[in-house]
A and B are shown apart, each in its own frame.
Chain A
């Protein structure tokens, strides 16, 4: 158990819909990262938050947004969903600096039908 909790584990939704993925980081970790993993794209970095502030953006679509709340949990919002958004979405957390590594949750498997 990494200590990072992601909900829900599975999500099936229709194209055009909006979903919210939730992540609770390890106790004490201020940084939260979101990654998308698909068969054709591999592990793609989406966005990083540190103590409530956006720190870095990766390959995140404009239809996607995220935030980190004062209690440090984070949410990833995906809207106007397309079939190609079907993937595993991982949240990871780390202390800062990140020399201890990032710890990953079990992921949310999103299926868009």
Chain B
């Protein structure tokens, strides 16, 4: 079975500081991994995805994530936080042997302090 764990339901950073949102996954087969962002009263928007190509994945809005198999992690980072980054972030995993269901983490709410 697949699952993801997001450490920290709330993260606060200062504007211009590094953003680090943690995600650990569990999967019995090589997974596909995703990060989504949700702004208030909106749907989830795909930020980036890992599908077994490069382990460092670049996404939209300056975000990137690194797949580390040895640590079963897929942490999301951004070098410099912007006020517009304040949102809810979800990590998700899917795998071919589960009919490509998407398993989502519980989400991390990012606050950016001016």
Contacts and interface: CB of A to CB of B under 8 A. Distances in A.
Given A42-B106, A43-B90, A43-B107, A97 B100 contact: yes
A92 B103 CA distance: 13
Interface residues of B, number: 24
A105 interface: yes
Interface residues of A, number: 28
Contact of A45 (B43, B49, B104): B104
A106 interface: yes
B43 A98 contact: no
29 contacts: A2-B43, A2-B45, A4-B43, A33-B102, A35-B104, A42-B104, A42-B107, A43-B90, A45-B102, A45-B103, A45-B104, A56-B98, A92-B44, A92-B102, A94-B102, A96-B100, A97-B100, A98-B32, A99-B32, A99-B49, A99-B100, A100-B49, A101-B49, A101-B92, A102-B34, A102-B46, A104-B44, A106-B42, A107-B42
